[in-house]
Amino acid sequence: MKVIGKFFDILEKILKNICGVLVVGFTGITLVAVIARYMLNSPIWWSEQLCRYLFIWMLMLYFPIIVRHEQNLGFDVIVKRLPKKFQDISWLICNILICAFGCFYFAYTLQLCQNFNAAHKYLDGIHLPASFMYSSQAVGAVLLVIFSLEVVINQFIKIIHENKDGETI
C-alpha cells in the first residue's frame, strides 16, 4: 500500500506543478491582454476565452487533490457529534459517493466529448476542438475516481484496525 501511496504522491506533485503552470499562464495572458487593451488600444480577442479554458483545466486537475486530502467542502455539524466510529463510517460513505459521482461524471463527459467530435464543433475564438475543453472534465473525473478510491481504501483500513475505544491497533 505504501508503494501505491508514493505513486499517488508523485502524481499529486505532477498535477500541482501543471496547475501552477496553468495559473501562471492565465495570469500572464490576462496581464498582457489588459496592457494591450488599455495601454496600446489593441485588444487581444482570444485572450479571455483561452484564459477561461486554462482556468477550467486548472480546476479540473486540482479538485481531485482536494478530495485526496479530504479538504472538500462539507457540512459536518451533525457528523462531528457522532461517536468516532460512526464519524469514520460517515466519511467512508461520503467518499464512496464521491467516487461513484466521479464514475458517472466521467461517463457523461466522455459521451459529451464524443458528441462534440462527431459534430466537428470548434471553439470560436481559439479554434480548438470543443472536446478539448470538455475533456478536462473527463480527466478530472478519472483523477477524482483514482484519488477517492485511495481515500476510501485508507478509511476502510482505518475502520478495520481501530478497536472499540477508537485506538489504533
130-161 and 84-119 helices, crossing angle to 10°: 160
Nearest Cα residue to 152 out of 103, 105, 91: 91
Residue 70 φ/ψ, nearest 5 degrees: 55, 40
Kindly report the pTM of this predicted structure: 0.81
Q: Could you state, in order of their start, the residue ranges of all structural domains in the chain?
A: 2-161
pLDDT for residue 114: 84
| pLDDT class of 163 with cuts at 50, 70, 90 | low
Q: Which residues pair with 129 in a beta bridge?
A: 122
pLDDT tens digit string along 126-158? 777 777 778 889 999 999 999 999 989 888 888
CA within 13 Å, CB half, 84: 10
Residue 168 φ/ψ, nearest 5 degrees: -75, 135
Contact 162, 85 (CB under 8 A): yes
